[in-house]
């Protein structure tokens, strides 16, 4: 179960980093117009929201199944990341798409995305010692 949690946290954090800091910036460099790049970026961020929700929910379920009282379980970071992902999709994205006070909403969206990356990264970091310890063979006594 610890390896599944590590895989999910790595998938979540890695996908956030790849989409937000590599793929989307490349769209704005290589597509014909910023409007086309923005439309494609919106689709990618929507897909990323679903990846975040899936990984976050599965992390919470796996943590609950593994050990309900484990203080190493990164539940608070997962819940915060999930809330940020959903907030981006339902509260911030509509303002960006409508170009309603674009600078404000884009900056808020960027901040929320970076905070989500921090939450996913913190969850991943918290799971690493747990997974490494579980994978080490026990010494023969």
In a domain, 113, yes or no: yes
Is residue 141 scored above 50 in pLDDT?
no
In a domain, 141, yes or no: no
Residue 13: domain span:
2-135
Q: What's the total number of domains in the chain?
A: 1
CA distance readout (Å), 140 to 72, 98, 132, 137:
26, 64, 18, 9
Q: What is the pTM of this model?
A: 0.87
Give the model's pLDDT for residue 72: 56
Give the model's pLDDT for residue 131: 65
In a domain, 77, yes or no: yes
CA distance readout (Å), 26 to 7, 23, 31, 38, 120:
26, 5, 8, 11, 23
User: How does residue 125 score in pLDDT terms, banded at 50, 70 and 90?
Assistant: very high
pLDDT, one tens digit per residue, over 96-116 is 999 999 999 999 999 999 999
pLDDT, one tens digit per residue, over 33-87 is 999 999 999 999 999 999 999 999 999 998 888 765 555 567 899 999 999 999 9
């Amino acid at each position: 179960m610890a390896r599944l949690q590590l895989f999910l946290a790595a998938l979540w954090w890695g996908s956030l980093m790849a989409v937000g800091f590599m793929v989307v910036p490349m769209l704005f460099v290589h597509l014909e117009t910023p409007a086309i790049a923005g439309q494609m970026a919106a689709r990618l961020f929507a897909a990323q929201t679903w990846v975040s929700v899936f990984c976050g929910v599965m992390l919470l379920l796996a943590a609950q199944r593994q050990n309900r009282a484990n203080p190493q379980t990164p539940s608070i970071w997962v819940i915060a990341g999930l809330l940020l992902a959903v907030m981006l999709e339902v509260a911030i994205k509509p303002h960006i798409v409508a170009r309603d006070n674009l600078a404000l909403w884009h900056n808020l969206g960027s901040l929320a995305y970076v905070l989500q990356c921090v939450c996913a990264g913190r969850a991943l970091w918290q799971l690493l010692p747990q997974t490494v310890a579980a994978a080490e063979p026990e010494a023969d006594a």
